[in-house]
Structure formats: structure tokens, C-alpha cells
Structure 1
Amino acid sequence: MGRSSRVTRLLYLVSHPIQYQAPLLRRIADQSDIDLRVLFERTHPDNRYFDTGFGREVKWDVDLIDGYENAPMAGVDIKREIGRADVIWLHGWQTPRMRSCLRQAKRSGRPVLMRGENCDLAMPDGSGVRGWLKRKFVNKIFKSCDFYLAIGSENRRYYLNRGVPPPQIIDMPYAVDNEAFGNLAKYAKKNRNALREKLGISPTRRVVLFAGKLQSRKNPQLLAKAIASADWAIEEPALIFVGDGESRAELEELAPDAIFTGFVNQTEMPAYYDLADIFVLPSVREPWGLAVNEAMACGTAAIVSDQVGCAADLIDSGNGRIVPAGDQISLSKALVVCLNNSEEMGKAAQQRILQWGFNQDIEGLRAALARAATLT
């Protein structure tokens, strides 16, 4: 879609500065036909905060608020901010403040774009009275939204299952900065042997990687068991757990020979993806799984469970495997097959993710803004 001569004043409301979103917001701010302003529910001084999932303080090594106009919600007049904008874009509706902003947008007659991570794989309504109440609550929220920015097919299905008409759903895929990850991975290749030496991995030994919060929902325990029980024709691969969390002590007992790095920051992660032959995310109820995007951008094949939201959109038999959640035997077999074909699968993974990036996000956002303009 070409650029229009009209500049759209877009107000984006989101919980906090997010490392995955910052480069996309900078890209949006660079568009001549979009005047972007971002308001955060909360901010963290110096990019530092306590992450409950990692169980530790985290300070990102990438700037999260530079390159686009932004402010904390606490320091502005929300009614005035919404009144100045042409279109309001919300990321989720979980908090009272976000729902208050949604109501204010409708009172002001501003079109609303809704983008969230919800999918029935990860966030089912449930049954009985509780499920009925949740559906009623969500339907009430959706009455105040005009268009929905689907991050993938499972997210699109979530909206369809709740009665949203297909024309109101516009694709805006959940993506990371593919170019940045790919470039950092290329640079990391030069130092791959040094990283192997640092971690105590021999030059020829294959590597399986898990990266994320070490918690039961991510199910790293299943990966440890699958590695141990797989039928390896040659040397068992090295297993690396990058991250931290409540399950670390249990994992260290379960996989005493595995390598535990602790938390690794954003700009350092491509070196670990480059080192790995296979990336594995065996989660249950995972809304998306952006670490899969990162791994693929670095040229690494991926194995995911069928309860990982990105599986249907990103993974096929050419670039990895999708296995039933909780199925140790299927995961063990997939590990053997993928490790034997990791080089060609990794190349296919990188080619696939190039079609799922910020360019597609900008295209989807522009389409949504064009549709929103017809309402005013």
C-alpha cells in the first residue's frame, strides 16, 4: 500500500516500554504519514525493574524509549491526549486504566484499534459460570473496539470465536527486529568457537537451546527429559538453558550436565542462537513465543509445542517441528530428526521469518488506519 498525503495522529497506549516493541515503534515514528505518540501505564527508571518471571532485577541493554515521542500516563491529561488524536491504538485491556482509556476514546468518538496476545490455546474462557462471565466481560470490551490487529492466526481465531466480523480483523504480525538479530548473529559467528570454549562445549558437539523464563508454563523440564531419553546414534547434544526463574533448582537436579547461563541480555542473545543447532520451546498455554522469532531470525531451526501460539504461522516440517504439548516421546524423536537436518532447516527458518517482520507490521497498521479514517 502506498503512503497517503494525510498524516494520521496515532495515540498508542501500552502497559510499559517493551524490548520487542521499541524498534517497531521507532520504525512507525519514521513514517511520514503517521504522527505517533506513545503513553505508558508505567515506566522504569534506567530500563531497570524486577521481573517476577526471571525472579531477579533486569536492566535491558537496549534503549526502550528513544526514537519516538512518549510519556507516562500519570503525567498527562488522558482526555486531552485522546481528544488530540485521530486514532487510538491499545495493547490489551487487562487493567482498569486501559479500560478507562478505551471508554474515553469511545466517548470522544475516536476509532479504536485493539491489539492483544489473546488466543484460546493460552487463554481459554473456561466453562460454567466463570466462562460465561468472562465471555460477557470480553464482549463488552469488544463493543468499544472498531478494528482488531491480529498478531497471528490463533489470535485471529480468538476474535472470530467471539463474534468479531472478519472485515474488522487486520493482520499485524507479532514480530521482532529480524534485521538486527540476523546481523548480530552474523557477527557472532566469528566468535562462535570462543563461546563454545567459554561454555565448555567441544567444537563438534551439537547444541540444543532453551531461552526464556525457567517456569513450569514454559515446560523446560520436558526438554531435559526428552534429551535424556532420546535415541542418539552419536554423542548426545549439549543442552543450554538461557534464563532464570522458579524452576531453575529443579532443572539443575533433573539435568546436572546441562549448562545454565542465567539471564542473558538482548544484544547478547544472537550469539546463543547462532551457537545452537536447534531452539526448543515446549510451553503449555504460550500466547505467542517471540523467542522463536529471534531464533529463526538468527538462522536456527525450532521445535515448539502445539500450544505455542506462533506454531501455526511460523513452523513447518521444513524449518522445525510442532509436537504435542507434554509429549516427551514425540519431542525426543523431533530432536533427533531436526538435529540431523539442522543446517538446512535453519536456512529455511531464516527465510520464513523474513516474511514475518516490521515491513508487514507497517503494512497492516496502514491498512487499519485507512479503515479507521472511513469512520470519522
Structure 2
Amino acid sequence: MASSKRLAIVVTHPIQHFVPFYRALAARDDLDVHLIFGAPVGVQAYFDEEMNAEISWNMEMLGGYSHEFLEDARPGQQPSPSWPSSSKVAERLAAFRPDAVLLYGYNQANVRRALWWCGRNRVPAMIISDSELLQQRGGLKQAVKSLLVRLVYSRISAFLSVGDRNEEYYRHFGAPADRIFRSPFTIDEDTYRAARADRAALRAQVRAEFGIPEDEMLALFVGKLSARKRPQDLIDALARFHAGHGIGALFAGNGELFEELKARAAAENLPARFAGFVNVDRLPALYAAADVLVHPSQADPHPLITSEGACMGLPMIYSDRIGAVGPTDIARDGENVIVYPCGDTAALAEALAILAADPAQRAAMAQRSLEIFDELDMRRSVAGVMEALDAVCA
């Protein structure tokens, strides 16, 4: 058997959605993977300002893969372009002796240090990101960014793409098409598949907890209740229906708009429930209780809730500012998602009404979500990494 390839991954901190991905890579006999984290943010409890909640993930974050931390976490500080920043990056990469280095984005101090080390030592650098062109603006700032991104990309040997919009971004800034490899962002799919198998019981449990009638079509919103995510649009859509229309919503998340939205729903007697911050171990049950996933955000490159919803077999309603929509992506317009113009709450209400009136369409979209997720699950993510490694190590 051929010798194992050695892959170093440089990232700011452990991120709950990606931990199963690291374990899947580490489980391969033909790959020796090592994570170099800037700091242990997320391993201990921390306060998320946009979520307006203290976060402590109820899952094992560090087991099952080789890793190290370059510095300690600073109380209350969140990763930024300038932090973590450790002079040990080069030393630790040299100690591991990788055949290639995988970088998360390019706009972070330790990533830039790693990219410099790769160039100096002629080690192929690979990149993964969820960047897309939906939010791009013109002007001098964009022109400068274009020059910088093209310079960075000229030093990258392989590009891991999470979806169609992401691939467009890579190509726009000069990435060669034959150096782009699909490797979707991952979720804890074992947990979600288990929840799907127990969906009926979880659905009944959650609906009883929040007083949701069994025959109500429940729209689920998952995310921070902030202006950027536009949760108020779902409230506005609900307000367009008369009482007893059979459409309701459940909001899973906290943030600056939490109290305002909750007060409005109560004042107008709208069928909206608010779960607050929901930890990762609890979240699959809420998907099980839902009939459709709604994401009205005005800026979201490739939200991981899309994969979670698809894994649970949910139809989706998304604004046209969501970067996860594409013909070969996890959300496919006309197949498992209805796309509407961001901010157009009448169009959002119409989409809800269409699905509420047509259970057969909901069922068909749900089945497509399951099928599409199976195309883009952990196997595809790991295969993309291995394809990229074969290309850069040839």
C-alpha cells in the first residue's frame, strides 16, 4: 500500500460543524492529518455578541484527531483577522512535515503565516472557504481586494469548493478550473441521521413542548436573531395570514431582535414560538418538528443549516441572497427550495402558502432534499480533499 500523505490543517479554533470532518479524515489509513488551531476558542464557554448568548457546545470537540493549540484563549475574545497570531506557525508546520497544508480562507494572521511558510518551503497550499460574489460591491475597495485575492490565489495549489457560488468566486479571481475540487462543508451527520430515524417521536415531543398543533405547517428559522438574518421577515409573512390559516413558525436562536420579535408576535397573536439559543445536541429535534426551513437572510455565503435541513428531509424557502443555492449545490431552486427576492415578505408569504396548500409538493421537495444530501455528504467532502491531495502531490 502507498505511504500515507501528510496533511496539516491551519484554522483559528475548533468549530463544532467541522469536528466530524476532521475525525473522518483522521480515520483514513492513507492520510495522516494534524490540526493546528490558533487558540481553544469554543472549547470553553464564550459569549457570542450577535447571538447575545453564552455559548458552550454540548459535544466532544477534540477527540478522534491529532491537534495542537498555538496559544491560550483570551477571555471574551473572538477570532479576528489579527488574532490568533502566533510566531509558532512555521515551527509547528516544520515539525509535522506535511505534504500539503489546508488553509481556511486567507484573511487571518495564522493562515497568512502558513501560506508564507508553504511558499518558502515549496509545500502545496490548499484553501477552503465559502466566499461568493452575491455581496460584492464596486469601487476602489473592491479593486484593491481583487488584486490581493488574485495574488493570494496565485500561491494556492488547490481550491476546495463548498458549492456552485463558491466555485464562481474562485474562477472569478483566477483559480484554474482543473484545480477546484468539490468538498462541501460538513455537519454532524450521524446525529442528524439518528434524529431522522426517530423523527416521529421527536416531532411529537417538540410540538407538545411549544404547543404546536400537529396539523400546523411549521416553518423553522435557525440562526441569530439579528438584522443581517432578517427574522422579522418571517414574522411579517405570518402577519399576512388570517387566524387559523394553519401556518406557524419556530425560531431557534437568540440575538438583538429576540425581545422585539417575541413582543410583536404576542401583541398580534401570531403563531410564532421562540426557543432561544438551542445547543447542538438539541437542534436536530427542532428540525424533526418542522415542515419547512426558512432562511430570509440578506447575507449568508453558505449556511450550514442548509445541510442540516436537507439531511432531515426538509423543503426550504430561501432569499436570493443565500449562497447555498445552485444547480449542483445543496439547495436547488425548483427541486428542494423556493427562492424569493430578499426582503419581499409578500413573496415569502406566497411561498409558505403554496407549500401549505400542497402537501404533495412538500413531500416531493423533502425527498429531493434527502437525495441531494446523500450526494453531498461526508463522503463527498472527504473525497474532495483526497482528489485535491492527489493533484497537488502528483
- Note whether the superposition's TM-score is higher than 0.5: yes
Q: Are residue 74 (structure 1) and residue 71 (structure 2) matched?
A: yes
SS across alignment from 1:57: strand
**Which amino acid in 2 is paired with 1:56?**
A
Pairs within 5 Å for 1:9-28: 9-28=6-25
Q: Are residue 94 (structure 1) and residue 111 (structure 2) matched?
A: no
Q: Identity of aligned pairs, percent? A: 27
SS across alignment from 2:282: helix
Given candidates 188, 202, 205, the residue that maps to 1:194 is: 205
Given candidates 384, 389, 394, the residue that maps to 1:364 is: 384
Aligned partner of 2:36 in structure 1 is 39
Q: Work out the CA distance in 2 between the residues paired with 1:141 and 1:190.
A: 50
Pairs within 5 Å for 1:1-376: 5-44=2-41, 46-74=43-71, 77-83=88-94, 84-122=97-135, 124=136, 126-230=137-241, 235-256=245-266, 257=270, 258-312=272-326, 313=329, 314-339=331-356, 340-341=358-359, 342-374=362-394
SS across alignment from 2:281: helix
Q: Work out the CA distance in 2 between the residues paired with 1:166 and 1:202.
A: 50
Spell out, residue by residue over 1:331-362, the C-alpha distance to the aligned partner (whole angstroms, 9 max, x if none).
Answer: 11111112333233222211221111110011
* 5+ long unaligned stretches in structure 1: none
Relative distance call for 1:132 and 1:228 in structure 2 (3 A) is same
CA contact (8 A) 1:319 1:348 kept: yes
CA contact (8 A) 1:338 1:345 kept: no
> What TM-score, normalized by structure 1, do the two folds share?
0.93
**Which amino acid in 1 is paired with 2:154?**
K
Q: RMSD value over aligned CA atoms? A: 1.9
**Which amino acid in 2 is paired with 1:325?**
C
Q: Work out the CA distance in 2 between the residues paired with 1:68 and 1:87.
A: 17
**Which amino acid in 1 is paired with 2:258?**
R
Mean CA deviation greater in 286-295 or 136-145 = 136-145
Cα shift at 1:59 = 0.6
Cα shift at 1:46 = 4.4
| Alignment size in residue pairs | 368
CA contact (8 A) 2:202 2:288 kept: no
* 5+ long unaligned stretches in structure 2: 73-85
Q: Work out the CA distance in 2 between the residues paired with 1:121 and 1:102.
A: 27
CA contact (8 A) 1:26 1:67 kept: yes
> What TM-score, normalized by structure 2, do the two folds share?
0.89
SS across alignment from 2:67: strand
**Which amino acid in 1 is paired with 2:246?**
E
Aligned partner of 2:75 in structure 1 is none
CA contact (8 A) 2:25 2:33 kept: yes
CA contact (8 A) 2:15 2:42 kept: no
